Structure 1
Amino acid sequence: MNNIDTMSVNAIRVLSADAIQKAKSGHPGLPLGCASVAYELWAKHLKHNPKDPDWKDRDRFILSGGHGSMLLYSLLHLFGYGDLKKEDLMQFRQWGSLTPGHPEYRHTVGVEATTGPLGAGMGMAVGMAIAERHMASVFNKEGYPVVDHYTYALGGDGCMMEGISSEAFSLAGTLKLSKLIIFYDSNRISIEGSTDIAFTENVQKRMEAFGFQTITVEDGNNLEEIGKAIEAAKADTERPSFITVKTQIGFGCPAKQGKASAHGEPLGDDNIKAMKENLGWPSEEPFFVPEEVYAHYKEIVEGLQPAEDAWNKMFAEYCEKYPEMKELWDTYYDEDLAEKVCDDADFWAYDDKADATRNLSGKMINRIKDRMPNVIGGAADLSPSTKTYMKDEGDFSAENYAGRNMHFGVRELAMTAIGNGIMLHGGLRAFVSTFFVFSDYTKPMARLSSIMGVPLTFVFTHDSIGVGEDGPTHEPIEQLAMWRAMPNFHMFRPADATETAAAWYSAVTSKRTPTALALTRQNLPQIEGTSREALKGGYIVQDSKKAVPDAIIIASGSELSLAVEAKKVLAEDGIDVRVVSMPCMDIFEEQSEEYKAKVLPKNVRKRVAVEALSGFGWDRYVGLDGDMIGMNRFGASAPYSKLFPYFGFTVENVVARVKAL
């Protein structure tokens, strides 16, 4: 390693340690240990251009070990991304800064994904690699590889212990995603001490079993060895690659190097002074970087420009030679595409026969896929049940990257991270699917969807005790409340074809909010009065003839028909009620106060909500004087025709509860 390379690597270490020390909070171990890996990759192998961070054919880099965020921030500063200043590094972990504790997508220029939960970045990297292969299969022509880039992810022992990485890498190996390259920071230290206390497996053998090429770098500070490993990874065009880099956590700090105490706490002023002396750093001044180091990074950045210039020239020729592909490219990247192609009578058309909303959703998916060629998605081995298969679009596989139907296998957690990664890549619109009760397995990655503002679509079927014979293990009870509790997330539970169409329209037109559809297994009638007003989240389906209704019945999904029938029975007794459908509380809460008061006037305090799931959260609509017909226990194994009456989901019970008010 020549002197300027040594200084450039150590600049990453010094900036990271100083920022963490100033914040009195953070994780110095990974930045110090992995600085050489990051420098070699970013300076000599990564196809990127800090002057154009959104270049579509750039390589992607994801720091899966997001706790080591100062490694990434130091890189972004030194390479000049988004004009991230030294002052921004000084504000690490502070209110309103561009350098939050863990990397946040859309918050800091150059951050490709929000990472924090360990292993999440690995799953999203697999999604990005899938997107690259699919886009390449659609757009590349002989002599014009307009989509041709790698996806890199860096993580450590924690990422490899989390089950999500195994789920994701198992699929990546099956799909032979050869443009996926994983760096494993193998320092054999976790928060509690040596990894031997809980993690003694042969990680390389596991990755070999998944179908990865495995490479080992014995010295994590040897740039030449690291560079050769990266080139060997690129040379394998049949398998994804897994590079184990043997590092020392907290490298360079004599008192902390190789110890668990280097992981998650500032080094301390004395230890930073000793580190700088040990590394031969020319100044003890915090955040000091020599001008020749900045000049070197600037020279590297200038050398990155020609790659994009060449791509731009090739792409211009491609567009001229294949104008139809240029038009398709623009279609894929059109954020307003859904509004343009899904807002017509045919999209909203349906027949009057009773049908399960999962079936109706399946029909909508097949309408959407013909209008939006960039839609890709699938299920966790459940597409025949969740009705998420796109006809005549082929299966995405190692033999056919052009297929639009994803087979995620029984891997709900990784499926969701992969869906996020596909969306983060750009150009594609993804959906994922499983049974509603198993949405628990998707939740941690869906939470990241919400935080990142990634409008991934979730199709959750078998949405209540209507699952029936499978019993309490498969009957969702508390799940709907869980999803409604999450910020920036739209949870739709449609009642019929019109509301299912509305749910899908809302999902595919959303720009910054993920959407989930909770859908029935059992057939539901088409309800008179449902309309596109469902796009407001809650609306009047059938109104009272009185200026002030005697009561209001609020319901969602399969229970809306009970509310409508109860209204008829109550009318015979002179009780005139309003029926409100609440397919999406989240969107209803986004409406104006005037609109919400119009639907649910405050002077009507007699309200009954009906939903065959947990009643948690309904108090905001029924109030202290109202009532809730819901589930306060787990379900049971029996036909749904037996369960619904047993648990009180009948017209008679709705009528009785209204009268009791």
Structure 2
Amino acid sequence: MGTIDTTTINAIRLLSAEGVQKANSGHPGLPMGAAPMAYELWAKHMKHNPSDPNWINRDRFILSAGHGSMLLYSLLHLFGYGLTIDDLKAFRQWGSKTPGHPEYGHTVGVDTTTGPLGAGFATGVGMAMAEANLAANFNKDDFKIVDHYTYAIVGDGCMMEGITSEAASLAGTLKLGKFIALYDSNKITIEGSTDIAFTEDVAKRFEAYGWQVITVEDGNDLDAIGKAIETAKGDLERPSLIVVKTQIGYGCPAKQGKASAHGEPLGVDNLAETKKFFEFPLDQEFHVPEEVYSHMDTLKEQGKREQEDWDSMFAEYAAKYSELADQWKIWTSKELPVDLLNDEDYWTFDKKPNATRAVSGQIINRLTKYLPNMFGGAADLAPSTKTYMTDRGDFSGDDYAGMNLHFGVRELAMAAMANGIALHGAHKPFCATFFVFSDYIKPSIRLSALMNLPVTYVLTHDSIGVGEDGPTHQPIEQLAMLRSVPNMVTYRPADAKETAAAWYHAISSKDTPTALVLTRQNLPYYEETSKDALKGGYVLVDSEKDVPDMLLMASGSEVECVYEAAKKLKADGIDVRVISMPSMDIYDSQSAAYKESVMPKAVRKRVAIEAGATMGWYKYVGLDGEVIGLDHFGASAPAAKVFEAFGITADHTYEIAKKVYEN
């Protein structure tokens, strides 16, 4: 290890420890133990340009063990990504660029938000999938315009989480040789030694997944780490796990190798002893020797030259392969290449009853004609979720050009991988499963929303209409869950045109994930539905009076209940307005004037119905209204019988509405 390498690594360790100490909060142990592998990677093997953090052909880096965020912030500072010493001093403080866990879009140079352990690892697999697909579709023998790696630093906690196992299994199956994980194996977690709960042979587990596994016995041995990284890069048939044996809190005599180094500051006295150990001045906070900054300036220039070379190569590529270059612009643009809003072919469907999942399948295959970069699939459920793209090929370890993804029965990792595809750029990702299993993907849905990622979640079999499969497969509370997620849009369409609106919103979104909640059973085609579904809620059948006697409202399959109940009520002389509410999220964002035009405050007699938890509807029906729904689990029986037994019918809606009107 050269002197400048040693000094730089120790600066990273102490910047990290001091940031945690000043905040009196955080995790100093991982940065102190993992600093050598992180420095070796960033300085000598990773392709990146701090002058352009969004360069599409850069290597991606993920700190999956996000609690060690001061390691990443110290690297970003030293490598010139714009973080200042003052930013490091503001670690975990209000309004700072250095939050407790790395946040994508908040701090320049952070490639993904990492908080839940293992999620970063799985997200990295998605990035590697995106790189492989983009390379297969655009590279030529004489031009490798897509040629980069995805690296992750993971910890013992990441290795315990099930999401890591799911993602690692698929990565091995897909032979994602450009995904390389460096495992900070320090054998310490919050409760103490990993021996109390984690004694498996991780290396053998990953070998069984089909990974190349390399072990570095000494986490301070830069030569061994560097050789391991190069060996990993040389195997393009297998993803690689580099097991680096480290000591948590390295350099702190009182805490090195102990659980107390994990999640609390070192303490003033211990920090002083650590500075002595590394021969740094005791009287200077956040000290970085000038020779370190000079060294880092040299490294930054290397990254700038790499991008300049790539820019020149891409210009030659565009001149020789102009059609591919035009496609590249479509793939990498966030704008839709066509005006689908005014394309009547997109909005036109057969008038026969159809399940919204089936309509969604039609729409997906319409969209592929316009959007060549749609990239997605299901958790072993494409025939049921209708998410297979015809004539687009299957993405596999033998053919990365295919656009259909087969995630296997791995819902949790699937959603994280979709996030990784979105973060990588150049694709419009979607993933699919049964709606009840949105519980499995919720953590990554939350991260989609937190990172402003336009991932589309296709969630079918949306209610007790699942029927015979019974309560384990009948979602009840999941709509309320999704609607509660900030920056998330949930659509539950009532027919084909509303499904088209839902998909239009999803593919148009630049900063919001969208969940499409779709039926298994057939629903009617309504002449009255329209593009107004893009407003979230709208008048489906209007009243004859300026101010109606009653408002009936529903989403999805239950729109039929209010539609038919309104006919009976009008026969009784009760003037009713029928409102379709495919997306509460979008409706709630409309102007007060629009919402008043749909639901006049003067009309207090209101009924809502939905085959799910009732809690979200009371803001619309008020104190005088009623909500028909399910605040209990379903039952196993044919769908028609289950709907009838639980009162999710037009007749029951009519009865309840009549009572509300008469009271």
Q: Calculate the TM-score normalised by the size of structure 2.
A: 0.99
Contact kept in structure 2, 1:153 and 1:181, CA below 8 Å? yes
Contact kept in structure 2, 1:276 and 1:284, CA below 8 Å? no
SS at match of 1:239: coil
Contact kept in structure 2, 1:554 and 1:610, CA below 8 Å? yes
Instruction: Tell me the residue number matched to 1:584.
Output: 583
Contact kept in structure 1, 2:375 and 2:428, CA below 8 Å? yes
Instruction: Tell me the residue number matched to 1:486.
Output: 485
Aligned residue identity for 1:500: T
Q: How far has the Cα of 1:342 moved from its partner? A: 5.7
SS at match of 2:376: strand
Instruction: Tell me the residue number matched to 2:114.
Output: 115
- State yes or no: 1:500 paired with 2:499: yes
Contact kept in structure 2, 1:456 and 1:514, CA below 8 Å? yes
Instruction: Tell me the residue number matched to 1:22.
Output: 22
- State yes or no: 1:9 paired with 2:24: no
Instruction: Tell me the residue number matched to 1:428.
Output: 427
Contact kept in structure 2, 1:62 and 1:152, CA below 8 Å? yes
Gaps of 5+ in 1: none
Instruction: Tell me the residue number matched to 1:602.
Output: 601
Instruction: Tell me the residue number matched to 2:206.
Output: 207
Aligned residue identity for 1:402: A
Instruction: Tell me the residue number matched to 1:195.
Output: 194
Instruction: Tell me the residue number matched to 1:556.
Output: 555
SS at match of 1:371: coil
Q: Any idea what the Cα deviations from partners look like across 1:562-621, whole Å, max 9, x if unmatched?
A: 111111110110001100011000111111111111111111111100101111111101
Q: How far has the Cα of 1:340 moved from its partner? A: 3.5
Contact kept in structure 2, 1:338 and 1:508, CA below 8 Å? no
More deviation in 530-539 or 592-601? Answer: 592-601
Instruction: Tell me the residue number matched to 1:57.
Output: 57
Instruction: Tell me the residue number matched to 1:247.
Output: 246
Distance in 1, matches of 2:257 and 2:330, equals 51
SS at match of 2:236: coil
Q: Calculate the TM-score normalised by the size of structure 1.
A: 0.99
Instruction: Tell me the residue number matched to 1:182.
Output: 181
Q: Any idea what the Cα deviations from partners look like across 1:8-50, whole Å, max 9, x if unmatched?
A: 0011011111111111111001100100001000000000010
Aligned residue identity for 2:286: F
Aligned residue identity for 1:465: I
Contact kept in structure 1, 2:330 and 2:337, CA below 8 Å? no
Q: How far has the Cα of 1:229 moved from its partner? A: 0.3
Instruction: Tell me the residue number matched to 1:301.
Output: 300
Superposed, which structure 2 residues align to 1:32-71 within 5 Å? 32-71=32-71
Contact kept in structure 2, 1:342 and 1:368, CA below 8 Å? no
Q: Any idea what the Cα deviations from partners look like across 1:273-308, whole Å, max 9, x if unmatched?
A: 000001111343111111111111111111222211
Superposed, which structure 2 residues align to 1:141-160 within 5 Å? 141-160=140-159
Aligned residue identity for 1:275: T
Distance in 2, matches of 1:478 and 1:341, equals 33
Distance in 1, matches of 2:625 and 2:210, equals 58
Superposed, which structure 2 residues align to 1:340-489 within 5 Å? 340-341=339-340, 343-489=342-488
Distance in 2, matches of 1:20 and 1:270, equals 14
SS at match of 1:111: coil
Instruction: Tell me the residue number matched to 1:310.
Output: 309
Q: How far has the Cα of 1:528 moved from its partner? A: 2.8
Q: How far has the Cα of 1:341 moved from its partner? A: 4.7
Distance in 2, matches of 1:499 and 1:509, equals 15
Distance in 2, matches of 1:642 and 1:511, equals 42
Aligned residue identity for 2:66: G
Aligned residue identity for 1:180: F
Aligned residue identity for 1:323: S
Aligned residue identity for 2:115: G
Query: Segments of 4+ in structure 1 off by > 6 A?
Result: none
Q: How far has the Cα of 1:369 moved from its partner? A: 1.1
Distance in 1, matches of 2:379 and 2:335, equals 29
Distance in 1, matches of 2:47 and 2:7, equals 22
- State yes or no: 1:74 paired with 2:74: yes
Identity of aligned residues (%): 63
SS at match of 1:617: helix
Distance in 1, matches of 2:395 and 2:197, equals 37
Instruction: Tell me the residue number matched to 1:625.
Output: 624
Distance in 2, matches of 1:61 and 1:485, equals 31
Instruction: Tell me the residue number matched to 2:615.
Output: 616
Distance in 1, matches of 2:347 and 2:288, equals 61
Distance in 2, matches of 1:42 and 1:7, equals 15
Aligned residue identity for 1:18: E
More deviation in 299-308 or 113-122? Answer: 299-308
Give the RMSD, CA atoms, in angstroms: 0.8
Distance in 2, matches of 1:528 and 1:626, equals 28
Distance in 2, matches of 1:517 and 1:72, equals 36
Q: Any idea what the Cα deviations from partners look like across 1:308-361, whole Å, max 9, x if unmatched?
A: 121111111000111111100000011112664564111111110000000000
Distance in 2, matches of 1:571 and 1:354, equals 25
Q: Any idea what the Cα deviations from partners look like across 1:244-286, whole Å, max 9, x if unmatched?
A: 0000000011011000010011111111100000111134311
Q: Per the alignment, do residues 579 and 502 of structure 1 end up closer, same or farther by CA in structure 2, a change over 3 Å counting?
A: same
Distance in 1, matches of 2:237 and 2:471, equals 44
Q: Per the alignment, do residues 629 and 131 of structure 1 end up closer, same or farther by CA in structure 2, a change over 3 Å counting?
A: same
Distance in 1, matches of 2:212 and 2:333, equals 37
Distance in 1, matches of 2:455 and 2:303, equals 33
SS at match of 1:330: helix
SS at match of 2:312: helix
Distance in 1, matches of 2:65 and 2:509, equals 29
Distance in 1, matches of 2:165 and 2:524, equals 43
SS at match of 2:471: coil
Aligned residue identity for 1:80: G
Q: Per the alignment, do residues 340 and 284 of structure 1 end up closer, same or farther by CA in structure 2, a change over 3 Å counting?
A: farther
Instruction: Tell me the residue number matched to 1:87.
Output: 86
Contact kept in structure 1, 2:493 and 2:518, CA below 8 Å? yes
Distance in 2, matches of 1:51 and 1:399, equals 36
Contact kept in structure 1, 2:338 and 2:370, CA below 8 Å? no
Q: How far has the Cα of 1:3 moved from its partner? A: 1.3
Distance in 1, matches of 2:166 and 2:430, equals 18
Distance in 1, matches of 2:60 and 2:470, equals 44
Distance in 2, matches of 1:546 and 1:389, equals 47
Instruction: Tell me the residue number matched to 2:522.
Output: 523
Distance in 2, matches of 1:285 and 1:25, equals 20
Aligned residue identity for 2:383: P
More deviation in 124-133 or 591-600? Answer: 591-600
SS at match of 2:446: helix
- State yes or no: 1:129 paired with 2:128: yes
Contact kept in structure 1, 2:272 and 2:282, CA below 8 Å? no
Aligned residue identity for 1:65: A
Q: Per the alignment, do residues 341 and 530 of structure 1 end up closer, same or farther by CA in structure 2, a change over 3 Å counting?
A: closer
Q: How far has the Cα of 1:495 moved from its partner? A: 0.2
Q: Per the alignment, do residues 338 and 480 of structure 1 end up closer, same or farther by CA in structure 2, a change over 3 Å counting?
A: farther
Distance in 1, matches of 2:497 and 2:17, equals 57
**Number of residue-to-residue matches in the alignment:** 660
Gaps of 5+ in 2: none
Distance in 2, matches of 1:437 and 1:305, equals 48
Distance in 2, matches of 1:619 and 1:168, equals 40
Q: Any idea what the Cα deviations from partners look like across 1:498-519, whole Å, max 9, x if unmatched?
A: 1000000000000100000110
Instruction: Tell me the residue number matched to 1:572.
Output: 571
